Amino acid sequence: MKKIWAPAVLTAGLLVGLPSPAQAENVLANAGFETGSLGGWTCASGGSVVTSPVRTGSYALAGGVTAGSTGQCTQTVSVQPNTAYSLSAWVRGSYVYMGVTGGASTWTPSASNYTKLSVSFTTGADQKSVEIFLHGWYGNGAYHADDVELDGPGGEPQPGVPGAPASPRLGTVTDNSIALSWEPATGTVTGYRVYEGSALKATVTGTSATVSGLAACSSHSYAVAAYNDVGESAKSAPVSGRTGGCTDTGLPKHALIGYLHASFANGSGYVRMADVPDAWDIIDLAFGEPTSVTSGDIRFNRCPVSECPNVESDEEFIAAIRAKQAQGKKVLISIGGQNGQVQLTTAGARDAFVRSVSAIIDKYGLDGLDVDFEGHSLYLNSGDTDFRNPKTPVIVNLISALKTLKARYGEKFVLTMAPETFFVQVGYQFYGGAGGGDGRTGSYLPVIHAMRDDLTVLHVQDYNSGPVMALDGQYKNMGGAEFHIAMTDMVKAGFPVANTGHTFPGLRPDQIGIGLPAAIPAGNGHTSPAQVQQAVNCLVKGTGCGSYTLRGGTSPALRGLMTWSINWDNYFKWEFMKAHEPFLNGLP
């Protein structure tokens, strides 16, 4: 954030002319056997659905293995040509096999408890269907399977199967339940099934359902499928929500967030903590930086007098932080920035990160942490294609460190993130672990996803960015209202992650902010106050959206605006603050 850094600009030429990825979903019918039958499956004689042992839900498959039969069960589904898919199942028994007929397969010789089997494959150029199988081995006793998942875009539906339900939306949310509704599916419909992943959560005959028995303050993502006697439709787009019962962080509904140059001046001048206007609700101290790229040892060095002649003492700085907090403001340490490359490549670096960041938080009595990893801090190793289960050490160790810090400081710990579009929205087209490009594309997605229940605000930097393809299949350029509308809508609605077969679920509106430069010298992509407010009105109220249609719906609880930086805003006579603070306060 200190200076202009634009990897997305450098890679923008790679984006032109590529197709939008297809929607990803579990395309199997009755994937968890929760219909209580073998509906959708074809099994050898003796195959059945049982109530024990199960992994999740109420039912699982028992394969009818005999001396003359492997007890095979199959399901044929429509797929799209030249497309990546991931197949997985949880199995139990001796010599259990899973795979694609004529293609990839895997097996386990002995699983006394439910064990996950996984394979990935890519369909052929003209392939429109695939048969997946599960079976045991002759004479080795029954095997069990549950939560089978074929993750990827569906193909043409089977004749007579209803269409997918449309426009799922949240209804009443309580501390332990989430209500949903959706538009009726086309065709003959017997009922609807509500899924969370591959797990069936409700079966209803109408177009609404309430999922109960949920943990307080927990995030969930649901999709809906219609069914009749012929079969089950493709699933709807996912809708995400979080139950109530969360600890109040004390933030206003719509917040003004800014970075304070606390360790350098950057040409915009030093602003003492006591002189930061009361309009700023979250103040991010920039920056904590590592002693070396891979050490994990973070140091926060206050601006030296030689660079910042008006810098206050530590005692005055801490006293000013306490005064802000007494007013309900949150003061965080921001780690990284343009120059602070942080690669937690080892468990030792992870532990050093936790120790050193905790020491900074404790010394200054801060409210939490802002993750501003840029440059080469985050990347995905080749083959690391599932953002839900990352394998790359720098990703895994960062997630572990953040969870440890959250657990240490408790429910009131404020966690924010400030990635660039390159690391989030560009993941719609390119995901680093899938190969074929820069390994950093989309690399924030596994961190955001893992921390979604603990994340206070994600404010992606809508600047220093190249063109980014949005959910309407069109490239958007920074600097105008449409860029902010489209980029924010992606985070709210969620999106398929490149060609991985997985879909990133959207965040709640109260977790989403828009990142902006305060002035032209602060970063490429400065947007006039009028254009910023047009974007916010579109996102919050659904007005002034121009030709763009919101895929994630309106967001009345949108958290607010972030800027780089408080210092640059001061340098330009508080233009950003004066324009946007009363505007945010006037939103419903």
> Does residue 312 carry a catalytic annotation?
no
Q: Which CATH superfamily is domain 255-586 in?
A: Glycosidases (3.20.20.80)
- pLDDT at residue 360 in the model: 98
Question: Which CATH topology does 169-243 take?
Answer: Immunoglobulin-like (2.60.40)
How much is the pLDDT for 25?
Answer: 63
11-16 CB contacts, 8 Å cutoff, 24+ apart = 11/422, 11/426, 11/437, 11/438, 11/441, 11/466, 12/466, 12/467, 14/430, 14/437, 15/426, 15/429, 15/430, 15/466, 15/467, 15/468, 15/469, 15/475, 16/467, 16/475
* 181 strand-pairing partners: 169, 208
Q: Is 331 helix (H, G, I), strand (E, B) or coil?
A: strand
Catalytic residue (one of 232, 374, 420, 482): 374
Query: Which residues partner with 92 through β-bridges?
Result: 144
In sequence order, what are the residues at sequence separation of 6 or more whose Cβ sits closer than 8 angstroms to the Cβ of residue 387? 427, 431, 442, 445, 446, 449, 497, 500, 502, 504
Whether the link from the prior residue into 53 is cis, omega within 30° of 0, is yes
Query: Before 236, cis peptide (omega within 30)?
Result: no
Q: Give pLDDT, residue 63.
A: 96
What is the pLDDT at residue 291?
Answer: 97
Parse the chain into domains and list their residue ranges: 42-151, 169-243, 255-586
Q: What is the pLDDT of residue 1?
A: 63
| pLDDT tens-place values along the chain, 588 residues long | 644 333 333 333 333 333 333 344 678 888 899 888 898 899 998 999 999 999 988 899 999 999 999 999 999 888 888 888 889 999 999 999 999 999 999 999 999 999 999 998 989 888 888 999 999 999 999 999 999 999 887 776 667 889 889 889 889 999 999 999 999 999 999 999 999 877 889 999 999 999 999 998 888 889 899 999 888 888 887 888 888 888 788 899 999 999 999 999 888 999 999 999 999 999 999 999 999 999 999 999 999 999 999 999 999 999 999 999 999 999 999 999 888 899 999 999 999 999 999 999 999 999 999 999 999 999 999 999 999 999 999 999 999 999 999 999 998 999 999 999 999 999 999 999 987 679 999 999 999 999 999 999 999 999 999 999 999 999 999 999 999 999 999 999 898 899 887 889 899 899 999 999 999 999 999 999 999 999 999 999 999 999 999 988 899 999 999 999 999 999 999 999 999 999 999 999
CA distances in angstroms from 2 to 279, 286, 300, listed in the order given: 23, 9, 15
CATH superfamily of domain region 42-151: Galactose-binding domain-like (2.60.120.260)
